[in-house]
Copies of this chain bind each other. A is one copy, B any other.
């Protein structure tokens, strides 16, 4: 049905009406006092979301721009870095690092499995000459719905003493607890169309004290993504270049909603929806692509054995106007991904589980009685 689409992909995520309506106001001047107030307020709100006293800078661009900024503002050509790679986004950061001539050691895990913190530990401990400058990794691997143990890996980096941690938290920030200061993460990148509940177009780089120290040594060429002018201007509640003003209106509205809900409530909601989704999927006889304990609070990937995942997505879209994400690269047709990130309520969860049951039934692929999946989901939503 026209205009009735429900996005259950890991970004863009659904956007609250209030946020859309704030976004559709007439733009104001980006050098005006009114806009400065918005920059000031959202900057404080961003620090709250990151649980940090570090600088959180807003870039007009996608999450990739933020990650690239984190990398090129702290490193120099030839610097040795360790990149975690267990999915499409891990792969991407390896590409960025190589594009800038960094000396990359890749720590791999299969798609659908988490990175092993011990591998990072071993490499970091062996580096007695302290040649490693950074560890770059993805927290929630969007392509597979795996959550990596960012806390444990950051801890190994801290024990190393010299390297910094650069984390892609694009689909984890605002979905689960990431206390930047407490864990000692040096750089966090994120994007607006995820837990932030606003459309794509803004991205964010949080830069801690050690990240700025690394910045002093960094000599990679850059201009639009050079974070020093962002720091200088954010301290005057401004931006170095004309920012996406209307997305700032949206950001202020959504962060204010998030403040009202409270961080812990937001994290609990995501954990509860994750569990209700995982259990409903299993109860209807489908297989989770990722072991439950490594599942991301933002995305659940499902591997429907002997059924074309694209066909399931198609029926869900046609019959129920629910958009799920497909598998990427070699997983295309093999998995589908349910996004339960951001502006998601219990209705979204029960409707996607019911719709999946209906879809399997229609395809003649439901091997359990109709209602078994949703029964499990409902029982969990009532329990947790």
Enumerate chain A interface residues (CB-CB to B < 8 A).
3, 5, 7, 9, 11-12, 14-15, 20-21, 23-30, 32, 60-65, 68, 95-96, 99-101, 191, 193, 199-201, 220-226, 241-247, 323, 325
Closest to A63 in B: B242
Interface centre among A62, A225, A245 (most CB of B within 10 A): A62
Assess the B11–A28 pair: CB atoms within 8 A. Answer: no
A220 CB contacts on chain B under 8 angstroms: 221
- The smallest beta-carbon distance between A363 and chain B, in angstroms, is 22
Closest residue of chain B to A323, judged by CB?
A: B29
A95 touches B223 (CB 8 A): yes
The answer to whether A12 and B24 touch across the interface, beta carbons within 8 angstroms, is no
* Complex partner residue of A242 from B11, B247, B323, CB under 8 angstroms: B11
Cross-chain contact A26 with B30 (CB below 8 angstroms): no
* Of the residues B64, B200, B245, contact of A199 by C-beta under 8 Å: B245
Chain B contacts for A21, CB-based, 8 A: 24
B95, A243: Cβ atoms under 8 Å?
no
Closest to A21 in B: B24
Mostly, the A contact residues are loop
Complex alpha-carbon distance, A14 and B28, angstroms: 9
Given A60-B62, A61-B60, A223-B64, is A24 in contact with B23 using a C-beta cutoff of 8 Å? yes
In the complex, chain B residues whose CB is within 8 Å of the CB of A3: 25-26
B14 and A323 contact, CB distance less than 8 A: no
Q: Which of B23, B32, B100, B223 contacts A246 (CB under 8 A)?
A: B23
- Which residue of the partner chain, among B14, B23, B26, contacts A14 with CB atoms under 8 Å? B26
Interchain nearest-CB distance for A215 vs B (Å): 15
Do A201 and B244 form a contact, CB below 8 Å, given A224-B65, A323-B32? yes
In the bound complex, residues from chain B placing their C-beta under 8 Å from that of A323 are: 28-29, 32
Q: How far is the CA of A226 from the CA of B95 in the complex (A)?
A: 12
In the complex, are the beta carbons of B9 and A27 less than 8 A apart? no
> A200 — which chain B residues lie within 8 A by C-beta?
27, 30, 60, 242-246
